Amino acid sequence: LALLGPAPGAPSCPHGPALLFVKTSQGKEEGRRFYACSACRDRKDCNFFQWEDEKVSETRLAAREEYNRNHQPSFTHRQNVDRYKNFVLLPLSKRRFCQECQQLLLPAEWEKHSDHQFLCNITTTQLKSPSQLLYPLENKKTNAQYLFADRSCKFLLNLLIDLGFRRVLSVGTPRLHEMIQSKASQEEEFNVRSLLLDIDFRYSQFYTEDEFCHYNMFNHHFFGGEAAHEICRKFLYEENGERVIMVADPPFGGLVEALASSFKKLMAMWRETEKEGHDNKEMPMFWIFPYFFESRILDFFPSFSMMDYQVDYDNHALYKHGKTGRRQSPVRIFTNLTPSMIVLPEEEGYRFCTLCQRYVSSDNQHCEICNSCTSKDGRQWKHCVLCKKCVKPSWFHCSNCNCCTLQKHSCEKTDVGCFVCGKAGHKRSACPSLSRS
């Protein structure tokens, strides 16, 4: 399946304009092009589908618009802001949060939610930490709200401050946004600001329009229309020397092409805010993503490089640092900043390689043949003379495949036979013995 990208005049589903796809075979386009939901890769989550050349009847268009309207949140962002103001005026005993509807409740609404589970006595601290109050949406392909562990969040924020950034465009990073907001309200001298762009509209209950924009990072769609677009544009305008950086943490099942397209559009918005000086520059960015997507990310952003820092998540068993998870986290920071500027904590096992001029994990040894610290996953890699590169320690050179791979693998050269009759030359679906039976 190949993504052809956002198309002008594309039809919309509840997640904004759909993306255009085409089925491919051996790199060639095959079959009709079609539109599908930009945010949900699974048809169970959003079943929007339309052929590109399909003529859609007026009746179906009207039904679709009605469907999209019915799938919008029950309150607008403005209404949620007003509700929050009323909510904080309530005494503690009257502050309730409905866990089933994921909504702050005002006393007049209690009756309607009487058979639901709710939390009582919601404190100001809880209101300032919505990511802990809300259930994380853990659909890997759509929301995948794996939230930064406190250790990673603090590291990121301190790094941004040390690098001199005073504004953070937080794209899908509610924990980082929350930490910045919380510090700003507690410490008078703290002068970092954040704007959260996220597809999870539940956050509109806790943040004003200047702090949160309902945004789909797969199709660069602002649900709040031109007004929200303008808030983002204003935020990116660097006045009084307040430098801006974008920090994005997309769902790992998301399409890299779609994400890169949106991030480039956000970078272009930044470039357009400033008449001089930005022309040939890229907006500074941290893209947080697993290391095995490195080549895909570099295809779209050749100026990026991958840092060795392992980003941890609270609610993901695999994405935790060192010995607490089942293995080391594969999630890294990709950035267009000069690698030597990114100082990684030595107490967590990172060291500075003077030859590479960057911080690397302690087991990442410098290979003299490759002239680089080659490990991607934190372990010490080994050099293969035949492959002319360093490979994972568990890999061995297979003369059949002519490359390094796992010891237990099926060689590409061996002709795998049909699962039904065992003969080569056809697949199970086309097996002649099946048609006979």
pLDDT value at residue 154 = 95
pLDDT tens digits, 267-283: 999 988 765 555 668 89
283-322 CB burial, b ≥16 within 10 A, e <16: bbbbbbbebebbeebeeebeebbbbbbbbbbbebeebbbe
Q: Which residues contact 380 (CB under 8 A, 6 or more apart)?
A: 363, 364, 365, 393
pLDDT tens digits, 271-320: 887 655 556 688 999 999 999 999 999 999 999 999 999 998 886 555 55
Q: What is the mean pLDDT of residues 389-398?
A: 91
Query: Quick one: tokens of 423?
Result: 């003969």
pLDDT value at residue 353 = 93
pLDDT value at residue 437 = 33
Task: Answer with the residue of higher pLDDT: 96 or 425.
Answer: 96
CB 264 within 8 A of CB 282: no
pLDDT value at 327 more than 60: no
Angle at 261 between CA 259 and CA 266, to 5 degrees: 95
pLDDT value at residue 4 = 85
pLDDT tens digits, 123-166: 999 999 999 899 877 554 445 567 888 999 999 999 999 999 99
* Closest to 143 in 3D by CA, of 229, 39, 67, 29: 39
pLDDT value at 409 more than 60: yes
* Closest to 336 in 3D by CA, of 281, 390, 373, 386: 281
- At residue 377 the predicted structure's pLDDT band, cuts being 50, 70 and 90, is confident
- At residue 421 the predicted structure's pLDDT band, cuts being 50, 70 and 90, is low
Rounded-to-integer distance, Cα 71 and Cα 89, Å:
30
Residue with tokens 């060291």: 351
- The SS3 of residue 306 is strand
Q: What is the mean pLDDT of residues 218-245?
A: 93
Question: HEC profile for 320-373?
Answer: CCCCCCCCCCCEEEEECCCHHHCCCCHHHCEEEECCCCEEEECCCCEECCCCEE
pLDDT tens digits, 78-88: 999 999 999 99
pLDDT value at residue 141 = 47
pTM of the predicted model, to two decimals?
0.87
Rounded-to-integer distance, Cα 232 and Cα 246, Å:
12
* Alpha carbon separation from 335 to 65, 222, 248, 415 (Å, rounded): 40, 25, 11, 42
- At residue 31 the predicted structure's pLDDT band, cuts being 50, 70 and 90, is confident
pLDDT value at 382 more than 50: yes
Domains for the chain: give ranges and CATH numbers: 2-71 (no CATH), 77-122 (3.30.160), 150-360 (3.40.50)
Rounded-to-integer distance, Cα 408 and Cα 274, Å:
55
pLDDT tens digits, 254-263: 889 999 999 9
pLDDT value at 120 more than 80: yes
Angle at 57 between CA 52 and CA 58, to 5 degrees: 125
Q: What is the mean pLDDT of residues 186-196?
A: 93
Rounded-to-integer distance, Cα 208 and Cα 81, Å:
6
pLDDT value at residue 142 = 47
pLDDT tens digits, 2-25: 888 778 889 999 999 999 999 877
Rounded-to-integer distance, Cα 281 and Cα 301, Å:
13
